[in-house]
Copies of this chain bind each other. A is one copy, B any other.
Amino acid sequence: MTAVILDGRALAKTIAEEIANEVAEFKQERSFAPAIAVLRVGEDPASVSYAKMIRRSFEKAEMEFELHALPETAGEGELLALVTDLNADEDVHGIMIQEPLPQGIRPEVIIEAMSPDKDVDGVHPANAGRLAQVAPAGRPPGVSGYFVPATPAGGMEILRRHAVELKGKRAVVVGRSNIVGKPMALLLLRENATVTICHSRTVNLDAVCREADILCAGAGRAQMIKGDWIKPGAVVIDFGFNRLGDKWVGDVDFEAAKEVAGMITPVPGGTGSMTNVMLMKNVLEAARRQMAR
């Protein structure tokens, strides 16, 4: 058996076109474009290249992008003042703070200073809390107007667009970060999956993974999930993006896994390709909500 390869790159291209159309409509109606402000302190190479990638996607969809790159020496007060300005700036609909921040700047202080309504990266506790509190699919949500981190949102979009049934399925999420594992678990729970969260302290991780109809990997360890950890026919969503020798690999041993799984995302070209477009979706949504007030 060879798995269906879930092509995130192709799907992202489709969604980017959908968004570009929606942005064109938005601009026609409003005569301005949804805008993101990206904040960075210092020149961490991964952050620099990620910001460039975001800029390219936003410009292609004719959305506004502004970068605020502060020097490595900038202090917490300076960054806080910038966040406060951007909160008040009506021309900015979404704010994204790139990490890592230099020592001496507490990320949680900066994040909590952001208006939750502009937190298009879904990292503010108010947004995490609304996701944690939202009612399951099929019931009135209770809470609304929150943002979900783009990476797990992209994983969910892949599942949805491939019509993967989640209700009543066993889902296992490996990793419990605030931007991948935990929100992914809550999103799967919202869709009525029975969800297990694993992490570095999990005992017999291989056996737990084998329970999964839907296996999501967000541990950040190259190829840690082996082919024989996968239940035959399972759907595998790999959020890992790890350097191994001269290439990029996921958290799953793709070559072995694709012989067992029913569907699997490749790395690169899987979930990573989706992150950008989900961020664009969030910024468009933020602009709409801010206009609807």
Cβ proximity bits A127-167 to B, threshold 8 Å, 1 near / 0 not: 11111110010000011001000000000000000000001
**A185-B133 Cα distance, complex, nearest whole Å:** 13
Which residue of the partner chain, among B143, B186, B198, contacts A125 with CB atoms under 8 Å? B143
Contacts of A189 in B (CB 8 A): 176, 197, 199
Contacts of A125 in B (CB 8 A): 125-126, 129-130, 132-133, 143, 146
Which residue of the partner chain, among B136, B142, B199, contacts A194 with CB atoms under 8 Å? B199
Contacts of A170 in B (CB 8 A): 208
Name which residue of chain B comes closest to A172, CB basis. Answer: B196
- B203 pairs with A199, CB closer than 8 A: no
Contacts of A201 in B (CB 8 A): 136, 167-168, 192, 194
Which residue of the partner chain, among B195, B203, B208, contacts A197 with CB atoms under 8 Å? B195
Contacts of A136 in B (CB 8 A): 176, 199, 201
* Any B CB within 8 A of the CB of A108: yes
**A132-B143 Cα distance, complex, nearest whole Å:** 16
- B132 pairs with A168, CB closer than 8 A: no
* Any B CB within 8 A of the CB of A202: yes
Contacts of A202 in B (CB 8 A): 168, 194
CB-contacts of A172-210 with B (<8 A): 176, 178, 182, 185-186, 189, 192, 194-199, 201-203, 208
Can you give 15 A-B contacts (C-beta < 8 A)?
A107-B142, A124-B129, A125-B129, A125-B132, A127-B129, A129-B130, A132-B132, A132-B178, A133-B182, A192-B199, A192-B201, A194-B196, A194-B197, A194-B199, A195-B196
Interface residues of A, Cβ cutoff 8 Å to B: 107-108, 124-133, 136, 142-143, 146, 167-170, 176, 178, 182, 185-186, 189, 192, 194-199, 201-203, 208
